[in-house]
Amino acid sequence: MARLTVPLGAAAGVLAIDQATKAFIIDVVMQPVRIITVTPFFNLKLGYNRGISFGLFDGVLSGVPFKLSVLLLMVAAAILWAATQCRSRLDQMALGAIAGGAVGNAFDRMRHGGVTDFLDFHAGGWHWPTFNLADVAICMGAGLLAARAFAQPVDTTKQSDHDEGQ
């Protein structure tokens, strides 16, 4: 149970912040719905992603938000289980952040039929796909796991079976 405290806490924190920011954007900031220029390269722009990452398969998946939500919730549960197998608290936090972001996006699909996105970065005429804080948590968690995997020291003292036979 102790190994579940860190990832569950990270997941709950991400979920709370994600859902609070989305509610604030929908209920307060975007009344009426419009594009709000914050800086020359950043806008607040409300949208609903009915596809998967970056709006892929929007037309194909727009009719099955509940099924996609259930799949996301199952993936989040599997990620939390995997976090309980980790010894590193940093890895547990990273996996918890990923799970919390997945749950936040799943809740959006159930309530709105798509993921609520509102962060719009752009340069010139090019716009990065609009995203939200759940997406940020998922990317940060995955990035942290990748960085830790690449930063692991390679054990050069252990020889392979092939080397031993020569």
Instruction: Render each residue's pLDDT in the chain as its tens digit; 166 residues.
Output: 668 899 999 999 999 999 999 999 999 999 999 999 999 999 999 999 887 665 555 555 555 667 778 888 999 999 999 999 999 999 999 999 999 999 999 999 999 988 999 999 999 889 899 999 999 999 999 999 999 999 877 666 765 555 555 4
8 Cβ contact list (under 8 Å, min separation 6): 80, 96
Give the separation between CA 162 and CA 17, rounded to whole angstroms: 51
pLDDT of residue 34: 96
Q: Is the Cα dihedral 90, 91, 96, 98 positive or negative?
A: positive
Residue-level pLDDT at 76: 95
Q: How many angstroms separate the CA atoms of 34 and 91, rounded?
A: 39
- What pLDDT is recorded for position 2? 66
Catalytically annotated residues: 117, 135
- Strands (DSSP E) contained in 8-156 are 35-39, 42-49, 115-123, 126-127
Burial class (CB in 10 A: 0-12, 13-18, 19+), 39: exposed
* pLDDT score, position 50: 82
CA-CA-CA-CA dihedral for 76, 78, 84, 86, to nearest 10: -100
Residue 67 has a pLDDT of 78
